[in-house]
Amino acid sequence: MKHIYLDKIFLLFLIVIILTGHFNSFFPYFLILLIHEMGHAITGVLLGYKLDKITLYPYGGVTSFNLPLNIPLKEEFFILIMGPIMQIVGYFLLKGVFHDIYLYHYTLLVFNLLPIYPLDGGKILNILCGYVLNYLKSFYFTFTISIIFLILLFTYNLYHFNLNMVLMIIVMIKKLIETYKKRYYYYNRFLLERYLYHYSFRKTKNIFNIKAFYRDRKHIINYQEEDKVLRKYFNKFKT
């Protein structure tokens, strides 16, 4: 349990639950959420990645690994999809114990698969984009879809107001803004990994500038090898 952390807004969410007298019904939600995140955690560890922490939010959880940004798309997808799969398995094992767990299971499952970053649905969308779009275009597409769905979610909540939903939307907006501000930091880190570790990829992609790198691809940039272009790029930052 040392890797499990409760976000501050999750604690606020928990206080609201206690004050409104719904603590007993909260436990099955917490249990199904924990099973979901353990699905991510166990899969990542089995694939050889070091678990950093599991942070629980009102809308779900985030399982963090010390992952390279050049992790193969199929491995990242597998880690992500095992969360919902483990949750489904857990639901069928627990539905005879908690008669109302079906409500939390289906709510969490559907909500978490919405195409909003940092939900699993948003991350899966980004992975699928990675097969056809370069790194930055995948990010911008995922960011745009996330904003659209957040607006729809906010609009829905205006007509069906729910305080817990407001907390969830606030957390997701905060995380999305933080990620957007760091987009070039992540991209440069993505390129630096390629430069330092010389990944081997089965497919090659011809591109025309360094901002068009794809995941899971080796690149030829203006008829130059990727390693040579990256060496020139990072030499500019040396003092």
| Per-residue pLDDT reduced to its tens digit, 106-140 | 988 999 999 999 899 999 999 999 999 999 999 99
Q: What is the pLDDT of residue 59?
A: 64
Query: Residues in the chain with pLDDT < 50?
Result: none
Q: What is the pLDDT of residue 19?
A: 74
Q: What is the pLDDT of residue 160?
A: 84
Per domain, the residue ranges of the chain are: 4-181, 192-235
Q: What is the pLDDT of residue 192?
A: 94
Q: What is the pLDDT of residue 80?
A: 95
Q: What is the pLDDT of residue 163?
A: 73
H helices present in the chain, as ranges: 8-19, 23-46, 73-94, 101-112, 120-130, 135-159, 163-181, 183-197, 226-235
φ, ψ (nearest 5 deg) of residue 214: -105, 160
Q: What is the pLDDT of residue 55?
A: 83
pTM: 0.87
Find tokens 């691809």 and name the residue: 217
Q: What is the pLDDT of residue 44?
A: 94
DSSP element (H, E) containing 206? strand 204-207
Q: What is the pLDDT of residue 21?
A: 66
Give the Å distances, CA to CA, from 235 to 73, 159, 186, 208.
Answer: 29, 55, 18, 20
Tell me how far apart the alpha carbons of residues 108 and 198 are, in angstroms, rounded to a whole number: 40
Q: Among 165, 223, 120, which residue's Cα sits nearest to residue 16?
A: 165
